[in-house]
Amino acid sequence: MTLTPDSDDDDIRSQMNSLEEEVNNIIDTRSEVIASIEEYRGKLHAVYSWFDTIIKQLEKCDKSDHPDSKKRNDDVQQLWTKFKDAYGKVEELTEKASEIKPKLSSLDNQQVDEQLRSVQKKYGDLKKRVGKKKQVIEMTRKGYDDAKQNTEDLLEWLEEKTEFLDDLPMLGYFSKNVECRIQDINDLQKEVIGKNVILAQIEKTLDNIKGDVEMFEIENLEVQIRATRIKQEETDA
């Protein structure tokens, strides 16, 4: 005799198949959630690793092993550009958080929110720190470059005036020539007084930036200033 399943058996089998399908769907969904969470954690780790890299590079800008302050200025400019461009890492993290939050418990949601706030605060603090360092190094470099250029301009001016004085013709006996010569000398003395003020400002700038500029740069500029002083004394004589 052949046994055939009755309708109750068919219902049970159908329910079991349906239950198995639901379980598989739950497992698949759970796997997707876990994968998304792991991806979020990976992005969070990448952001903090990036923060550590920025901090190390910022500290490197303070070290004295750079050849000169121009190199430090170039480094901090590159760091600032890299810092702005890399904000995409924070945005990617925020997007991934928005993706996984609907699938998390309220407690896990709170934890994600706290992590995002911490990341934003860290980013804001670093942005201020990098920006401030950038400003300080830029001002230092500009002060040095301006002082160097002003010294070179002043030395060139003194050389021109020295040549001018050396090439002056004999006065002769005409009073008009004497008056013109006296006027030229008076005008030159006024210019020299003005240049003395500029030279004093250069020396003051040099004193202010000594702690932030490499010593050999300071020494090179001091040599130029001494040469300018000597040339100025020759002009005064």
The reply to whether 106 and 170 lie within a common domain is: no
pTM: 0.66
In 10 A of CB 97, how many CB atoms?
19
Mean residue pLDDT of the chain comes to 77
The reply to whether 83 and 170 lie within a common domain is: no
Of 107, 137, 167, which residue is a domain's last?
137
Question: Does the CA dihedral 33-38-44-47 come out positive or negative?
Answer: negative
In 10 A of CB 221, how many CB atoms?
21
Range of the domain at 185: 142-236
Question: Does the CA dihedral 96-98-101-106 come out positive or negative?
Answer: positive
In the predicted structure, residue 28 carries a pLDDT above the cut 50: no
The confidence score (pLDDT) of residue 139 equals 87
The reply to whether 175 and 100 lie within a common domain is: no
Q: Tens of pLDDT along 59-83?
A: 877 665 555 677 778 888 888 888 7
Of 103, 137, 171, which residue is a domain's last?
137
3 belongs to a structural domain? no
The reply to whether 113 and 215 lie within a common domain is: no
The confidence score (pLDDT) of residue 1 equals 43
* Tokens 């300071």 -> residue: 218
The reply to whether 57 and 132 lie within a common domain is: yes
- Which of 18-32, 81-95, 142-156 is predicted least confidently? 18-32
181-194: string of b/e by CB count within 10 Å (b at 16+)? Answer: eeeeeeeeeeeeee
The reply to whether 51 and 99 lie within a common domain is: yes
